[in-house]
Amino acid sequence: MKILLFGYNYQGIRLTQVHNVLQLLSRMPVSLAAHRSFYERLSRDLPDVCRAIEAIDCCGDYEADMALSIGGDGTFLRAAEKIGDRGIPVLGVNIGRLGFLADVPAEETESVMSEILAGRYRIEERSLLQVDLPQRPDGFWPYALNEVAVLKQDTSSMISIHTTVGDSFLNTYQADGLIVATPTGSTAYSMSVGGPILMPQAANWVISPVAPHSLTIRPLVVNDNTDIALRVDSRSHSYLLSVDGRSIMLDTDIQVVLRKAPFTVKVVKRLGHSFAETLRAKLMWGVDKRE
């Protein structure tokens, strides 16, 4: 099995966890490769494990059976970006904090990898949002596994987000911003502003305002087969567009159109582990604290 490694800078106990994971993988019947930037960090901080890892300049030229994201959910999102539409399944090993996407604890890597090598795993396909702009900046990947957000640029005044769903005008949101989240992203930024949680395979998006200037505005679930058009008014004549945390500045004369991407991200999941179990473990779903 060929495995493509993704990760970033680590310090302290997390660096030790990365070392343990890579040492474990080096003893398994797999071949390992890492993007050169990650390989260079490993060669600097963990030179002993690099002997078992190939450095590659562009992951698009490397054929892999699986990608391994070592870190938190942010690392997983960057791995999904690098993989793009190539269909390589991604397994997330968590050495971050909460970890909804990276849901395999580092200490369970050996048992999970043994199950994978024995063929005991399943693949979930996660939908993405596609961002359409009149002109796309160089190097900008226009897809989001979690969410797309339009946000105010300055700290003093709210923005107006004129929102159309399909052929119907929905609302003008007077707010600090507006989030459009995928089912995967419903447990991320959208949840933090009061948006509902969706099951990962739901065919929906969630539209959630950020600090709306009205008590009558609530998050809304819409079908994912309709386009969502966002036009922004702002005193500064500009706003931020955030795509899974990758932000660019846009002028208010630029309209953003969101639609379902023509491909999915494949996520490796253990057999017998469900999203409901993740909710209970990560969010203490249904825990009764009464004495």
> Which of 267, 211, 286 is CA-nearest to residue 68?
267
SS3 162: strand
Cα 49 from chain centroid (whole Å): 28
Strand-strand pairing, 238-243 and 143-144: unpaired
SS3 114: helix
Rounded Cα–Cα distance for residues 31 and 253 (Å): 49
> Which of 113, 116, 2 is CA-nearest to residue 62?
2
Type of residue found at 36 = R
167 is catalytic: no
Type of residue found at 75 = T
Rounded Cα–Cα distance for residues 241 and 189 (Å): 14
Rounded Cα–Cα distance for residues 76 and 115 (Å): 21
DSSP conformation letters of 235-290: TTSEEEEEETTEEEEEETT--EEEEE-SS-EEEEEETT--HHHHHHHHH-TT----
Which residue is catalytic, options 73, 103, 176, 224? 73
Task: Count each helix (H run) and each strand (E run) in the chain, helices first.
Answer: 6, 20
The residues annotated with a catalytic role in the active site are 73
